[in-house]
Structure formats: structure tokens, C-alpha cells
Amino acid sequence: MNDERIIELFFERSEDAIKALDDKYGKVFFSLSFRILNDRFEAEECVADSYLGTWNAIPPARPDPLVAFVCKIVRNISLKRYERKVTAKRDSRYDVAMEELEDCLSSSMTVEEEIEERELTGLIEAFLDSLSRENRVIFLRRYWFSDSYADIAKQVGLTEKNVSVRLARLRKQLRNYLSEREALI
């Protein structure tokens, strides 16, 4: 079933919309949540919660593309659950991926910094737009989807070492890009 039809089912308030969404993208959603939480049960619950979030968001939203819209919901729910369960030890790939970015981004965020956060988001989006398609895929697979170096290497046809080196260079480029625009604190 195509995405447009699934969205129409949501607009019709048909429960078949959830089943169709799960049949088409359930594995993608579970994989994303599992990479953040490193817990099967928690990931399954987050995916189920994301279906409720999607149900509540469509209508009025008419997402395009649907998979990215729901992935964002899954990721946000998974991150909230992760924050609740996190302990001193590193227990998921998400910890490792985020630690790699710590040097590029400021660590504390207050309510007063909301405008700065939006500006930073815009700068990061502009940085990503400046990358080649392959480097953008590598960066997003690591820092949005929390893929391992091995998973990324297999997907883009490179060695793990090459992916590791590229990510190190991309982080350095991001740090320089943000520094040039006085976005680093």
C-alpha cells in the first residue's frame, strides 16, 4: 500500500491505517528505537506509542514523506524513554554516537536559548546541505539513526575504517563550520 493511501486511512480514522503503517515500516521504526534504547521490549513499546502519536497527529498533518514523519515521532519517544532510563554506564549505541558530537555542540540548554537553538538547527541543516549525498547519508545514519560503523559501511559500500575516518572529518568540518559562524560556545 502506498503512503498516500495510508494517510487517507488516517484521515478516515480507520484502524487499518495503523496496520498498514506497521506492515510497511514497522521494522524501520523498531530498528530506530532499538538502536537508541538497546532493549527489545522498550523499543516495541515506543513503536506502539508512536502509532498513537501518529494517530493523533494525522489529521490535521498530511506528512510528506510519511516514513520521515513517523521516524521523528519514534525517535522523540525513544529519546524521552532513554533519558528516563539512562544510568552512569553506557548501554546503547546512542551514547557512543552522541559522545562523538559533544565537542561540536554546546551541552547546556536553557529556555532563554530557544532562539539560539533554532539558529543552530538552521546552521546544522545548512552544513548538511553542503555535504555530498554520500557524506550526508553517513552523517545522518550515524547521528540521527545511531547506526554502527559496520551498518553504515555495509549500506554505503565502504570499510568500517573509512566510515570512521569520514565521520571524524565530518565532525571536524562541523566544528569549524559552527565556529566560523560563531555558533560554538
Tens of pLDDT, residues 145-181: 888 999 999 999 999 999 999 999 999 999 888 888 7
- Cβ-based neighbour number of residue 137 at 10 Å: 14
**What pLDDT does residue 119 have?**
80
Mean pLDDT of 91-105: 66
If we measure between CA atoms, which residue out of 166, 177, 113, 110 comes closest to residue 143? 166
**Amino acid occupying residue 138:** I
pLDDT of residue 88: 43
- Length of the chain equals 185
Average of pLDDT values for 34-60?
91
- Answer with the residue of higher pLDDT: 168 or 111: 168
Q: Which of residues 81 and 94 earns the better pLDDT score? A: 81
Average pLDDT, the chain: 85
pLDDT value of position 145: 86
Please state the rounded mean pLDDT for residues 96-100: 70
Closest CA to 82 of 48, 42, 44, 45: 42
Domains of the chain (ranges; CATH) run 3-85 (1.10.1740.10), 94-180 (1.10.10.10)
Least Cα distance to 92 among 102, 105, 81 occurs for 81
Please check the confidence at residue 66 and state whether its pLDDT lies above 50.
Answer: yes
User: Alpha-carbon distance 29 to 26, whole Å?
Assistant: 5
What value, to the nearest 5°, has the Cα angle with vertex 126 and ends 120 and 127? 90
Query: How far, in Å, CA of 125 to CA of 128, rounded?
Result: 5
Each residue's pLDDT tens digit, 127-152: 999 999 999 999 999 988 888 999 99
Phi first, then psi: give them for residue 84, nearest 5 degrees.
-70, -35
